[in-house]
Amino acid sequence: MLSSCRRLSRKEFIFTKHHGQKLSFSHFSLITCSHTTPTLPPPRLGGGGPLGGTEAVPRFSVVTPASLHKHAVVRNRLRRTIYDSVAKINLSLDIIIYPKPSMLKLDHAQICSLLASTLQNLNLPSSGA
């Protein structure tokens, strides 16, 4: 499980969902938002955000709705696998991950390599300030 400073709070989740960049891949979709967005709400204590005095850490949220699979055990197992695979990623982004049903057919190693390669290659266009 990710530590609380690496997870998005409800306020941060809503901000990222409405202001982030949406990307779609074969097994999942992403919404990403930079920590340096000027209208970003202030970070929580220990959140590692831009105003926290420490370097920014990536913050994640994984959305696994009941439409993904009818058993909560399966959805929670997938959520834990995704959190485990993104724990080592170092980006200064807020990321919401929406897995697709095809991701349930992948094993742990495939999910880890898929997410790691996708997130490492993720390049957000710079917003001209």
Domain boundaries, the chain: 4-120
| 81 CB burial (10 A radius; 0-12, 13-18, 19+) | buried
Task: Tell me the per-residue pLDDT of 16-36, one tens digit each, with 9 for 90 and over.
Answer: 999 999 999 999 999 998 875
pLDDT score of 55: 60
> CA Rg, the chain, in Å?
14
pLDDT score of 75: 95
- What's the pTM? 0.78
- Cα–Cα distances (Å) from 83 to 23, 38, 91, 96, 126, in that order, read 19, 27, 15, 11, 27
pLDDT score of 124: 44
Q: Which CATH number fits domain 4-120: 3.40.50.1370, 3.40.50.280, 3.30.230.10, 3.30.70.2660?
A: 3.30.230.10
Question: Residue ranges of the chain with pLDDT lower than 50?
Answer: 37-40, 49-53, 124, 126-129
Closest CA to 28 of 66, 72, 74, 64: 64
